């Protein structure tokens, strides 16, 4: 796609977002509806941009207004910019608030039920270090939750309910340490490793020591040493790789190290650091592979960097909603 075509597409996308805002605020305005229909009929590019934009509403559905106070500065800025901006702001307290409400479904924050089950949890962009009763250290990544069972005798167990955690396990040969994430069980005696769960399964990276990862679904078991990584799908399929131990759990230093991971996996990790929602509109884009280092302190710019690598587009349709579509 040449520069002129890319610019034309961006203009159409921006205009589609503006029409969405205005139509959600004034659905009974017949004059506005006629103007919109004329815009949509003007070009195939406009029709495609509208189809992409309305995909978000199908994903998020309807919800009541929430967090009105957060929109004050955004509304004031749009009002300052003139008549077009004033029209653009109409959806903010009505329709756009639905997208903000939907953010709490899309963003990787442990849901209320998960929090009720957990002993420790973190919010978006929050990290927390916990010293367990046996002397082991758990560092929770943003938007993560664990439940802990450390009986006085017998095996030790932590359940990773949501998100990601880095474990520094105090050695005790008589009491193996298990981390359970859904149907995947990781067993160690004393080691340092990272474990992440997402919609596709569990990823494990060993920084030091030995880790055994097994699936209760397939019975597949993998023995991992320092520098080894493995992804175990919920169906019990394993895929191994290797990684420099110093890059594992890079989120502890505010970095996302993506080594031949899918765009979907990277976006899932960015969601935990972004105070809003990221909507990935194209499944095929999510399956593409990336390798790179991204700054979690600026998740929006990191997302744009990932998108650029595949010619994808990131659109901000409200201050807290980002939409990603294939180029």
Which pLDDT score is estimated for 25? 65
Residue 145 lies in a domain: yes
Q: Are residues 264 and 249 in the same domain?
A: no
Mean pLDDT for 11-20 is: 75
Pairing of strands 238-242, 321-325: unpaired
pLDDT-based confidence at residue 248 (cuts at 50, 70, 90): confident
Q: Which of 210, 190, 194 is nearest to 202 (CA)?
A: 194
Of the residues 204, 221, 253, which one is the last residue of a structural domain? Answer: 253
Residues 142 and 264 in one domain: no
CA distance 121 to 114: 9
Pair 117, 236 in one domain: yes
Residues 126 and 206 in one domain: yes
Average pLDDT over residues 107-118: 62
Facing residues of 262 across strands?
289
In a shared domain, residues 118 and 182: yes
DSSP codes, 219-241: --EEEEETTEEEEEETTS-EEEE
Q: Does residue 318 fall inside a structural domain? A: no
Q: Are residues 44 and 55 in the same domain?
A: yes
Alpha helices in the chain (DSSP H): 3-25, 30-41, 44-60, 72-80, 83-88, 95-106, 112-117, 263-271, 283-286, 299-309
Examine the fold and report which residue of 73, 106, 139 is the final residue of a domain before the chain moves on.
106
Q: For residues 100 and 128, state if they share a domain.
A: no
Distance CA 200, CA 197 (A): 8
Per-residue DSSP letter, 176: -
The answer to whether residue 316 sits within a structural domain is: no
Are residues 201 and 122 both part of a single domain? Answer: yes
- Which CATH number do you get for residue 285? 3.55.50
Can you tell me the mean pLDDT for 184-196?
Answer: 95
Structural domain includes residue 168:
yes
Domain match, 137 and 208 both? yes
**Total domains in the fold of the chain:** 3
Domain contains 146 = yes
Residue 325 lies in a domain: no
Residue-wise pLDDT for 33-89, tens only, equals 888 899 999 998 888 878 766 665 454 443 333 333 444 444 444 444 433 333 334
| Residue 177 φ/ψ, nearest 5 degrees | -110, 120
Specify whether 264 is located in the same domain as 288.
yes
Range of the domain at 305: 254-311
303 shares a domain with 216: no
Domain shared by 170 and 211, yes or no: yes
Whether residue 213 is contained in a domain is answered as yes
In CATH, what number is assigned to the domain containing residue 158?
2.60.120.1440
Q: Is 320 part of any domain?
A: no
Give the model confidence (pLDDT) of 121-136 as tens digits: 998 899 999 999 999 9
- Residue 135 near residue 170 (C-beta atoms within 8 A): yes
């Amino acid at each position: 796609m040449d520069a002129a075509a890319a610019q034309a597409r961006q203009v159409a996308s921006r205009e589609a977002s503006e029409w969405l805002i205005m139509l959600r605020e004034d659905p009974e305005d017949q004059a506005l509806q006629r103007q919109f229909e004329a815009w949509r009929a003007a070009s195939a590019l406009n029709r495609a941009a509208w189809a992409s934009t309305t995909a978000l509403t199908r994903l998020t559905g309807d919800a009541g207004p929430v967090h009105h106070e957060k929109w004050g500065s955004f509304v004031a800025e749009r009002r300052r910019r003139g008549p077009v901006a004033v029209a653009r702001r109409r959806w903010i307290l009505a329709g756009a608030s639905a997208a903000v409400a939907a953010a709490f479904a899309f963003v990787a924050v442990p849901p209320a039920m998960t929090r009720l089950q957990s002993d420790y949890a973190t919010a978006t962009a929050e990290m927390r270090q916990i010293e367990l009763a046996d002397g082991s250290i758990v560092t929770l990544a943003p938007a993560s939750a664990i439940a802990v069972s450390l009986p006085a005798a017998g095996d030790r167990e932590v359940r990773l309910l949501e998100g990601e955690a880095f474990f520094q396990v105090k050695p005790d040969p008589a009491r193996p340490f298990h981390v359970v994430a859904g149907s995947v069980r990781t067993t160690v005696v004393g080691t340092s490793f990272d474990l992440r769960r997402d919609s596709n399964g569990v990823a494990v990276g060993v920084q030091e020591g030995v880790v055994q990862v097994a699936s209760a679904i397939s019975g597949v078991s993998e023995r991992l040493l320092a520098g080894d990584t493995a992804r175990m799908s919920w169906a019990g399929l394993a895929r191994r790789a290797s990684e420099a131990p110093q890059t594992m759990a890079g989120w502890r230093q505010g970095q996302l190290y993506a080594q031949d991971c899918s765009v979907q996996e990277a976006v899932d990790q960015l969601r935990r650091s972004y105070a809003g929602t990221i909507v990935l509109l194209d499944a095929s884009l999510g399956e593409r592979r990336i390798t790179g280092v991204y700054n979690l302190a600026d998740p929006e710019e990191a997302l744009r960097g990932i998108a650029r690598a595949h010619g994808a587009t990131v659109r901000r349709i409200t201050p807290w909603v980002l939409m990603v579509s294939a180029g």
